[in-house]
């Protein structure tokens, strides 16, 4: 399928390249090649998209970057600089890229202001944030179900743009699970556990009862939530202290979009479609951490209907991100 829109494709600025996550076991030359690929937004990246039939990429800052900067003022300033750099890349190729804002949620008020600037002045289509934000030290975390974030979510809802919750590793103090088995950190397993739990916190907090119009995007075929949410809801129904207008399963279907980034597995896609519907799934490759060609070859031949392929590959993203598209599909 040509004309795809890929919604989780990353970049980094030279100033932030030393903060990107390196997978366990990477050699120095592999890390250097990844950092180089993240900084390049011209001919090489565009050729990779062309070969995979990707017309438009929603570009966002790699992980953990801003979320790992423990001083709120520094994080806020560096997020703004990264957003300005991304805006330059989008302006250079306005028919190929749209931007998702980096936000320093170490300071919720400043993050709300930066999102508004990015949407109203830079033309960005939403935000992507790399998990919890560290404040004061790497052993602390701010999770976004906390009361202090309600004004931020109110601003997101008012702007009408999606918020992509991207993974990061769990706190260093919470990695006892992985001692001696560090290969399970990062995208192998820990990213999924961390992000799915963060989403569950937001669901159980009642955030989506307060702001039913919020739209959250999560990658990697939903971080296992489509396959676990009914069990969660069934058990929550036995806990009197949890009172929600809508349970997690309904919230997942109405307030979340799921992307295929880095999880090119047909049974998982079919299961996610059964749980949330084809209207709630988006194509993504996770460039350059995953091979774009692998993502596209799998998606272009996965056994789903032509109508669902177009929805997932293009139309859902265009609707969510406000991208004006023509036919553009073959």
Catalytic residues: 286
Query: How far does CA 16 lie from the centroid of its chain?
Result: 18
Closest CA to 281 of 315, 323, 230, 241: 315
- Compute how many other C-beta atoms are within 10 angstroms of the C-beta atom of residue 306: 9
φ, ψ for residue 69 (rounded to 5)?
-95, 115
Helix, coil or strand: residue 98? strand
For residues 311 and 35, the answer to whether their CB atoms sit within 8 Å is no
β-partners of residue 20 are 64
Query: Which residues pair with residue 164 across a beta bridge?
Result: 128, 217
Cα separation values, 312 from 132, 229, 242, 268, 300, Å: 28, 21, 34, 14, 11
As a dihedral over the C-alpha atoms of residue 164, residue 3, residue 57, residue 128, rounded to 10 degrees, the angle is 0
d(CA 244, CA 329) in angstroms, rounded, equals 41
Q: At what angle do helices 225-236 and 190-204 cross, to 10 degrees?
A: 40
User: What are the backbone dihedrals phi and psi of residue 98, each rounded to the nearest 5 degrees, phi first?
Assistant: -125, 155
Contact by Cβ (8 Å): 5, 310: no
Instruction: Give the count of beta carbons closer than 10 Å to the beta carbon of residue 161.
Output: 22
């Amino acid at each position: 399928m040509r004309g795809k829109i890929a919604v989780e494709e990353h970049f980094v600025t030279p100033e932030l390249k030393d903060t990107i996550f390196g997978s366990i076991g990477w050699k120095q030359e592999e890390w250097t090649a990844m950092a180089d690929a993240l900084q390049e937004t011209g001919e090489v990246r565009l050729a990779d998209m062309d070969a995979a039939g990707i017309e438009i990429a929603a570009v966002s800052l790699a992980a953990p970057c801003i979320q790992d900067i423990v001083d709120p003022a520094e994080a806020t300033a560096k997020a703004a600089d990264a957003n300005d750099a991304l805006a330059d890349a989008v302006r250079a190729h306005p028919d190929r890229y749209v931007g998702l804002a980096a936000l320093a949620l170490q300071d919720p008020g400043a993050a709300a202001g930066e999102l508004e600037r990015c949407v109203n002045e830079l033309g960005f289509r939403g935000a992507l944030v790399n998990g919890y934000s560290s404040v004061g030290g790497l052993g602390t975390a701010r999770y976004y179900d906390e009361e202090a974030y309600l004004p931020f979510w109110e601003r997101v809802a008012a702007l009408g743009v999606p918020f992509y919750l991207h993974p990061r590793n769990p706190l260093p103090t919470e990695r006892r699970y992985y001692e001696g088995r560090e290969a399970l950190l990062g995208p192998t397993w820990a990213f999924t556990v961390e992000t799915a739990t963060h989403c569950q916190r937001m669901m159980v907090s009642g955030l989506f009862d307060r702001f039913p119009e919020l739209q959250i995007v999560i990658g990697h075929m939903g971080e296992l939530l489509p396959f676990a949410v009914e069990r969660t809801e069934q058990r929550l129904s036995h806990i009197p202290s949890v009172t929600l207008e809508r349970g997690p399963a309904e919230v997942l279907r109405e307030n979340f979009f799921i992307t295929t980034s880095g999880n090119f597995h047909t049974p998982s896609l079919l299961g996610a479609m059964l749980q949330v519907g084809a209207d709630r799934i988006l194509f993504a490759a996770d460039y350059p951490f995953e091979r774009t060609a692998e993502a596209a070859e799998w998606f272009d031949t996965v056994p789903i209907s032509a109508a669902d392929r177009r929805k997932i590959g293009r139309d859902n993203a265009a609707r969510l991100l406000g991208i004006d598209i023509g036919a553009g599909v073959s």
